[in-house]
Structure 1
Amino acid sequence: MMKSILFTLFFSWLQIHAQCQTFNVIDYGARPDTQYLSTDAINNAISACAGKGGGRVIIPAGRFRSGTITLLSHVELFLAPGSVLYASTAPADFPRQQQPAYRSQKDKGGWFALIYAEEATDIAVKGTGTIDGNGRQQPSRPGLFGGDLDGRPRNLLFISCKGITVEGITMLNSGMWNQHYLNCEDGIVTNIKVYNHSNRNNDGIDIDGCRRFTLSNSTIDADDDGICLKSTGPAPCEHVIITNCIVSSHTNGIKCGTESTGGFRNIVISDCIIQPSRNTQPVIVRAPRSGYTGISLEIVDGGVMEGVAVNNILIEGTECPLYIRLGNRARKYTDTAVTPSPGKMKNISIRNITAYNAGNYSSSVTGVPGAVIEDIHLDNIKFNTRGGLKEGEYISSASLVKEEETSYPQPNIWGNLPSYGLFIRHVKEISISGLSLNTIDAEQRIPLIAVDIHELIIRNLDIKHAGSRKEDLQMTRVYRHQLDAGIKFTDNGK
């Protein structure tokens, strides 16, 4: 017993001692000079820190140019106030990493990143300094795949790591996705600031096939998706909390998808604001400046989405506040993988959503024939849209809305739907309680359309637009439905 106690005390002392150790990159040859490459010096400091059992590697005030930095177990990279880790523009400074054991649709033979870690434990990036990926100067690499597989470096990429903390820092201008957590466990990202408008595919943060992961108290402004949960490989993205964030995007504010191979399970998204981007420069991604969607939940490459709760979200100005899509793109995550069968979506709760100054795409909840969304609840939802469309500016009837089963899942595949508030199709068991629909300018479209629905309950529906009447609810092939007496139609005088 005494030996066991002594061992525990000694191990605890080692942990405390490791946490107290500091290693300044200046002492290993780094220079606060963007004309000087400090990659080796920073990596040498990290290696020395790891060799002593772990601790803190400090980047002091100043601008330090670097290529790929490899973070090792039990090491915290600390960016002191006034420090900037500035990415080199030479492709040779970002060598291709050896392909990891975990396979992903985004990996065609190895990754490129400014800060990289694989299979590391107890790692952190903290401080109040800045990581600047110099993204406008990060070109595609010749001979690689195109699109988002062309070798542009991420600012931060952690693969199959356990025990991650990223806190306090500012991250700017990545060559590709800003930060990518792939197949990681027990991650905390908090109090960060992201501004990412320098290159194509400039997502704010991608949480990909991770377990037990929390993102909180952060501000993210991205050219492409703001906060994006993915499952680009066989691992599910599960037990994830996103809370108290302010998000801006020219595409999708908060999104699960598009890749969905491993699925999504037990996801909570709460107490967030989705607002227009501060970016005043031309939009790089081909998307409306106001953004396509506020909240997107998508299963299109197989996989199961189950147990998702979205609560207390304020959305300003996106074209489509809510987009829920079960499709069948069926993209394989590796060339040798089995083509996925249609996925599933069930047990989804959307509550306390307010959207105003929204566009005219209409929010939607849609499956496809043979793959229906199951058990979804919408409660206390308020959509205020621009309205004002005239005949010929929207799809004239629900029968003309194509299934688009294999298309990329975004509301622009349809454009302006025949409903202005909510379009529902191929769903089993959906309840809607406290839905308020209003338009700024008068609308000719129907407020709510439901097609091929099994078990529909609508309670306390409040419609405010010129000429509103109960006949404006259009239901086709709706089986076992209940329309509560609380439904209200009010002419708002426009």
Structure 2
Amino acid sequence: MKRQFLLFIFITCAVVTNVQSANQSINGTYNILNYGADTLNVCTQAINNAIESAYRNGGGKVIIPAGRFRSGTIFLKDNIELHLSGGAILEASDDYSDFPLIPPTTYRSLKDAGGWSALIYAEKANHISITGKGTIDGKGKGRKGRVQGVAGDCNGRPRNILLISCKNVSVSGVTMLNSTIWNQHYLDCEDVTVTDIRVFNHANGNNDGIDIDGCRRFILSDSVIDSDDDGIVLKSTGIAPCEDIVITDCIVSSFANAIKCGTESTGGFRNILISDCIVKPSRSEGERVIKSTPTGITAISLEVVDGGVMEGVTVNNILIEGTECPLYIRLANRGRKHISSAPIPPIGVMRNIQISNITAYGTGNFCSSITGIPERKIENIYLNNIRFVNKGGLAKGNFLTKELVEGVRHDMAKSMYPDKYWASFKDIIEDEKGYPQPTVWRNLPSYGLFIRNVETLELSNGTFTSEKPEPRNPIIAVNVDKLYLHQINAGQNSSSEVLLHKVPDIDADPSLKVRIEK
């Protein structure tokens, strides 16, 4: 009987201990102050110790309280919520030695060439979150790369947040500032929700707002992003596609491309919904870091240039103010490999893209464009209820020439020749190996829409007008198999003649002025 009683007590204690452990994994909080953090010293070890303690107890909330705390790399683990309380500032250490270079992970990417580095990092973690009303400050102004021989966004500068191959991720409420490079990078992640964040990233080159890279089932919503480089970016820098992605109810500003799907496209893009967003000029003051246009290059960019398939993309209800080019859709054949041992990617595919309810005003004169290449046309593009109002005001006959632009970088704003335009569509080089951005072409010979190398395009209820007189055609279509133009208004201050070349099947309203050029 005594043995049975002792056994009962042992089992009861074990059950209570397990219940307490389970409760701690759900409700347990771990304040970094209790692990030695303070506002005077670098707190990397204290924060990681708090995370490790929570992880050993099955998970919990690691709290960064109000105050300014400096840190190197923080490693998130399963079932950890990193919570930045109101008034908390998590600030990157000034010493690169606090940010160990992490070698390439199991999932390989074009961007791992110099080794990964981040303020907040996780690989293959499950059920992790970053929450609260605090601030993450990367202190990236003027900081240089640290990997010799590796340029651009692979040179070892730390990201504010880098999550690789993680599942069930939530980021909400926080403000993110001043990264040394990309602000937040989600690579090969699944089931991610990012909501109600604020990003202001104008400290260094390659200062993207958020990069969603080869992820599946990702929702970004209700956020404000203002970045020096691209704002909201979908990429596929490895073999995984960006798939089942929702971007909604965001306000985006960028000196480069506000909402962009590309440039890297190895794994492709499928089932992408971008809706109910505002694109407007940046509120950044002072000199721009990147050499781009002061009001932004594009509002919406969809690109496939390094192989991969883009299909099932819907863009709806977008209000655009002041960017140079409202819409840029590009299929080309740069053919860049995502790692050196990979085969050269074949020409990609773009098809089944729906663009609707887009209003753009006060935009520049680059002209929106939808262009494939002769070897591979874009398939099935549908545009409905489009209203583009550009600035206009170009002087008739003030033409760009190949001599003016030869050898000039695509991102040099001072060399864009904003007062000049190309005389003819025949001057617009294919440039299928070049960088996919409308700065390469500058002011096209049309002001509303330039279409080239497309199988089928339907445009209904489209208005293209200019604030000042325009010498250019509203629409130019070249090498398009089937073109449908209905309810098109070209405005009173501009040429209203649509120019076609190699368009064998045209279905247009009788009232639309159409000229066919041999």
The reply on whether 1:22 has 2:29 as its aligned counterpart is yes
Number of residue-to-residue matches in the alignment: 477
Q: 1:433 aligns with which of 460, 478, 486?
A: 460
Determine the structure 2 residue equivalent to 1:318: 323
Q: 1:368 aligns with which of 368, 373, 376?
A: 373
SS of 1:189's partner is strand
Q: Mind listing any 5+ residue stretches in structure 1 that lack a counterpart? A: 1-9, 490-494
The answer on whether the counterparts of 1:459 and 1:485 sit within 8 Å (CA) in structure 2 is: no
The answer on whether the counterparts of 2:470 and 2:495 sit within 8 Å (CA) in structure 1 is: no
Q: By how many angstroms is 1:467 displaced?
A: 5.7
SS of 1:350's partner is strand
Matches within 5 A, 1:174-323: 174-323=179-328
Deviation sequence 1:355-407 (CA, Å, 0-9, x none): 00000000000001111100010000000000011222110001111101111
Determine the structure 1 residue equivalent to 2:502: 477
Q: By how many angstroms is 1:485 displaced?
A: 4.0
Determine the structure 2 residue equivalent to 1:416: 443
The answer on whether the counterparts of 2:465 and 2:493 sit within 8 Å (CA) in structure 1 is: no
267-276 or 100-109, larger mean C-alpha shift = 100-109
Q: 1:92 aligns with which of 97, 101, 105?
A: 97
Q: Per the alignment, do residues 168 and 488 of structure 1 end up closer, same or farther by CA in structure 2, a change over 3 Å counting? A: farther
Q: By how many angstroms is 1:171 displaced?
A: 0.2
SS of 2:380's partner is strand
Deviation sequence 1:444-491 (CA, Å, 0-9, x none): 01110000001111110011033644xx110000021100246489xx
The answer on whether the counterparts of 2:170 and 2:194 sit within 8 Å (CA) in structure 1 is: yes
The reply on whether 1:164 has 2:189 as its aligned counterpart is no
The reply on whether 1:118 has 2:123 as its aligned counterpart is yes
Larger Rg: 2
Determine the structure 2 residue equivalent to 1:147: 152
Matches within 5 A, 1:54-65: 54-65=59-70
Q: Per the alignment, do residues 467 and 64 of structure 1 end up closer, same or farther by CA in structure 2, a change over 3 Å counting? A: closer
| Matched AA of 1:408 | Y
457-466 or 299-308, larger mean C-alpha shift = 457-466
Work out the CA distance in 1 between the residues paired with 2:448 and 2:19.
58
Q: By how many angstroms is 1:143 displaced?
A: 2.0
47-56 or 130-139, larger mean C-alpha shift = 130-139
| Matched AA of 2:507 | Q
Q: By how many angstroms is 1:139 displaced?
A: 2.1
SS of 1:53's partner is coil
Work out the CA distance in 1 between the residues paired with 2:186 and 2:75.
15
Work out the CA distance in 2 between the residues paired with 1:144 and 1:116.
24
Determine the structure 1 residue equivalent to 2:13: none
Deviation sequence 1:185-235 (CA, Å, 0-9, x none): 000000000000000000000000000000000000000000000000000
390-399 or 350-359, larger mean C-alpha shift = 390-399
Work out the CA distance in 1 between the residues paired with 2:84 and 2:458.
49
Q: TM-score, normalised by structure 2?
A: 0.90
| Matched AA of 1:312 | N
| Matched AA of 2:266 | T
Q: By how many angstroms is 1:92 displaced?
A: 0.4
Q: Per the alignment, do residues 486 and 136 of structure 1 end up closer, same or farther by CA in structure 2, a change over 3 Å counting? A: same
| Matched AA of 1:216 | S
Q: By how many angstroms is 1:15 displaced?
A: 5.6
Q: By how many angstroms is 1:14 displaced?
A: 6.4
The answer on whether the counterparts of 1:258 and 1:300 sit within 8 Å (CA) in structure 2 is: yes
Q: By how many angstroms is 1:89 displaced?
A: 1.2
Q: 1:327 aligns with which of 325, 332, 343?
A: 332
The reply on whether 1:338 has 2:363 as its aligned counterpart is no
Determine the structure 1 residue equivalent to 2:426: 399
* Alignment root-mean-square deviation, CA: 1.6
Q: By how many angstroms is 1:146 displaced?
A: 1.1
SS of 2:391's partner is strand
Work out the CA distance in 2 between the residues paired with 1:383 and 1:11.
63
| Matched AA of 1:473 | V
| Matched AA of 2:432 | E
The answer on whether the counterparts of 1:266 and 1:308 sit within 8 Å (CA) in structure 2 is: yes
Q: Per the alignment, do residues 44 and 279 of structure 1 end up closer, same or farther by CA in structure 2, a change over 3 Å counting? A: same
Work out the CA distance in 2 between the residues paired with 1:217 and 1:328.
35
Q: Mind listing any 5+ residue stretches in structure 2 that lack a counterpart? A: 1-16, 400-419
